[in-house]
Structure 1
Amino acid sequence: MESHSHLTSDQQLWNALLDGDSHAWGILYRRQYRPLRSWALRRFSDPSMVEDALQDLFLWIWQHRQNLNRNAPLAPYLKFSLRNQILKLLPGNHVPLNSDADTYEFSVEGCPESQWIEKESEGYWQHFAHKSVSSLPKRKRQVMEMRYHDGYSIEEICEKTGLRYQSVVNAVQLSVTQLREQAQLAGYNYQVFRRKSR
């Protein structure tokens, strides 16, 4: 389309996409598909899974465009997001890395912005997690905060709250399931709530 001839850089396409321009979204998808696929295949050994994750990623980007970061460096941002989409498709979050791949931790070669992206993404996640826990019923919220924020064992929670052991276990399991579903709907791939050791 002639009207998009001025959109030459990926960053301009990204900004147009975030403003609701579906044509810019299509151009960016076609432009980024092969580089992202090549990058992912150096780390994850299943081509069909990588391709599914790429399609999921760009669909998710379009659906959540109003909430995405306009100023993030695009290449590391897309790689970080693709990595999370791939991890969602792996059973039990096991990561079948190729032998010549880099580590599980997010890394973008020669990209000084990668730590900044990870830090910012973690900040979004912390805000989301806090908001999600706050939405739980009062008793479940109390149990989850004691378990995952304060690091108490199930037995310690029972002692402090007077609840039965099975009631605490049920509250934790139901809450984690609910929070994990909320995280997946919001596009997060983080393991929901690791227990903090004291």
Structure 2
Amino acid sequence: MRGLLGFLPWIVYAVIATGDEWRWGAIAGLVIAVGLVLVDRRAGRDWAEMVIETSAALFFAGLTALSLAAPHSPLTPYGPALVNVWLAGTAWGSLAIRRPFTLGIARAATPREVWDTPRFRRVNVVITAVWAVAFTAAAISLTFVLAAAPHATTLVVAVKVLSFALPAGFTAWYPKRVRRLAAR
């Protein structure tokens, strides 16, 4: 559950940032992301445990600056797609540097003796890849939906929910499956 808290800035932005409200969504996302990073660092958490929170702080700092400097930017309607482009970049980037973003989150909930095992690492590579694919698919879907039908709110919400719920469900299910198979 701790790992899902890192997605709070993104979720709050998704709820608030509708149409002209993207500025308030960006500001809220920034405040929450910075707050999470500060609380986590004070609690002694390693930066590897806060990849999504740190990524959110950087994204929302930039988006806040853009939304305040150019409140009627042509990017305004594409906010949901931009979020997923950034998250996809974060996930794919973490895989490219061989530090899957889920690794730090999983370590916080797993005994130290399994951290360096190939199975633990492989599980986190697979889970991070699932998130990366979901974010990429959402970015592409939302770009097309928003370009073709900018007021298709129900469809936009459905894509947002599915792009979070499906990989979250997989994240909960997959490690249990791997443990069951290993126990056989």
Q: Do the two structures share a fold, i.e. TM-score over 0.5?
A: no
Interval containing the TM-score (normalised by the shorter chain): 0.3 to 0.5
The TM-score, its normalising length taken from structure 1, stands at 0.32
The TM-score, its normalising length taken from structure 2, stands at 0.33
Q: Which has the higher contact order (CA 8 A, sep 6+)?
A: 2
